């Protein structure tokens, strides 16, 4: 039964870590009635350090924090749904020759789906997470923006959130730096949260993604087989292990000696070939993005010069946009050369630190139809 809704009742996604813990305490201080929700999406051996443990350690730590600060806490088991959506899509993208960004897909299509669903069930008007991002009110719309801490800004991963999600979301850490959060949590007496090492990897991959693919698809090596490394003219340079095991820009782990550093510049899943070239061959001034979403309808057409970020740990590049021949497809012209444009990754479009849209980077071969 749906509980009575309160305008100050907020559901916080709790991972057991420092950021979501700080989010709960900050919202409590701001007068919100905080409810914690920990999603059990994927189990890893490290989540169960004690013999016979049945509840993941991160969920236990989230529950303990909730008890200490006196808030309601729930654990939601969504492992089957996670496997059937996020894991399946992750594998499918690699089998297409792309390099997916599962966090981007997970945030809107999974985390916020269940956060809002459970918020309704538990009578919460709002949802909140420990992401370092901000939400701005702009001409009647809510627009995602970069967090104040430039080193921790996570708006790149959140670009798919639309008005439905943003209209009910709070990011308490958006205007705070990580160092300030550490001092805040330390001052609250939770020294262990500050000392705990934070994982920077994809949550369901404990090591190399190639091992994960093989674990999920035991027949993968036989299925894709080996193929050939080729140069820009198509000349065979040697053999590789199979196209899903490589990504654009990769230099290490190629296991081929050509007398100079070589990089993966193109992946052809149909021919099972990996093109190698020097660093200059990774540079481009143009790309196509597909599955484009706008912060609100029409904003990209009126945007003028923008900045486009093509990976999380890289600076946004000044660019201009023009609509493509296909709905949801846009052409990006960079004002300076971009390196290692990678199909399957996200391209997030900013104007004055606000996210006005984003899309998925397409294979560079799609540029052929736009050449004049």
Q: Give the Cα separation of 339 and 330 in Å (integer).
A: 19
Q: Say whether 19 counts as a known binding-site residue.
A: yes
Q: What would you report as the CA-atom Rg of the chain, rounded to the nearest whole angstrom?
A: 22
Q: Give the Cα separation of 269 and 344 in Å (integer).
A: 13
Q: Say whether 139 counts as a known binding-site residue.
A: no
What is the CB-side half-sphere exposure of residue 148 using CA atoms within 13 A? 11
Q: Say whether 174 counts as a known binding-site residue.
A: no
What are the CA-CA distances from residue 322 to residues 47, 228, 278, 303 (Å)?
46, 36, 30, 10
What is the CB-side half-sphere exposure of residue 174 using CA atoms within 13 A? 19
Q: Say whether 207 counts as a known binding-site residue.
A: no
Q: Say whether 39 counts as a known binding-site residue.
A: yes
Angle between the N-to-C axes of helices 18-29 and 178-187, in degrees from 0 to 180, rounded to the nearest 10? 70
Q: Say whether 20 counts as a known binding-site residue.
A: yes
203 is an active site residue: yes
Q: Tell me if 33 sits within 8 A of 10, measured CB to CB.
A: yes
According to DSSP, residue 5 is labeled: P
Q: Say whether 14 counts as a known binding-site residue.
A: yes
Of 24, 124, 138, 203, the catalytic one is: 203
Of 103, 106, 124, 138, the catalytic one is: 106
124 is an active site residue: no
Q: Say whether 13 counts as a known binding-site residue.
A: yes
Binding site members for ATP: 13-20, 39, 130
Give the residue numbers annotated as catalytic, written as ranges.
106, 203
Binding site members: 13-20, 39, 130
């Amino acid at each position: 039964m749906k509980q009575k809704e309160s305008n100050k009742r907020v559901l916080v996604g709790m991972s057991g870590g420092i950021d979501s813990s700080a989010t709960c305490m900050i919202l409590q201080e701001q007068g919100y009635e905080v409810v914690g929700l920990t999603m059990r999406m994927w189990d890893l051996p490290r989540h169960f350090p004690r013999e016979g443990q049945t509840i993941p350690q991160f969920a236990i730590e989230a529950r303990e924090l909730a008890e200490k600060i006196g808030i309601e806490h729930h654990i939601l088991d969504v492992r089957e749904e996670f496997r059937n959506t996020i894991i399946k899509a992750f594998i499918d993208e690699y089998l297409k020759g792309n390099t997916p960004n599962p966090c981007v897909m997970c945030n809107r299509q999974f985390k916020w789906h269940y956060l809002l669903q459970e918020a309704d069930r538990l009578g919460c008007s709002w949802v909140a997470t420990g992401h370092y991002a901000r939400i701005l009110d702009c001409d009647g719309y809510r627009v995602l923006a970069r967090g104040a801490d430039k080193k921790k800004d996570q708006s790149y991963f959140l670009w798919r959130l639309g008005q439905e999600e943003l209209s009910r979301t709070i990011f308490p850490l958006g205007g705070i730096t990580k160092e300030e959060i550490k001092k805040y949590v330390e001052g609250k007496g939770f020294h262990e949260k500050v000392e705990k090492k934070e994982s920077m990897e994809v949550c369901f991959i404990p090591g190399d993604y190639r091992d994960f693919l093989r674990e999920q698809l035991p027949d993968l090596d036989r299925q894709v087989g080996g193929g050939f490394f080729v140069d820009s003219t198509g000349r065979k340079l040697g053999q590789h292990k199979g196209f899903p095991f490589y990504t654009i820009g990769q230099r290490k782990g190629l296991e081929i000696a050509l007398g100079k550093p070589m990089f993966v510049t193109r992946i052809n899943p149909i021919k099972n070939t990996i093109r190698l070239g020097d660093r200059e061959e990774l540079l481009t001034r143009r790309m196509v993005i597909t599955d484009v979403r706008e912060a609100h309808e029409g904003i990209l057409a009126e945007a003028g010069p923008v900045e486009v970020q093509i990976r999380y740990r890289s600076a946004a590049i000044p660019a201009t946009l023009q609509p493509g021949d296909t709905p949801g497809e846009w052409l990006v012209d960079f004002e300076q050369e971009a390196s290692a444009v990678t199909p399957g990754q996200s391209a997030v479009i900013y104007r004055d630190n606000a996210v006005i849209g984003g899309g998925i980077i397409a294979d560079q071969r799609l540029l052929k139809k736009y050449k004049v």
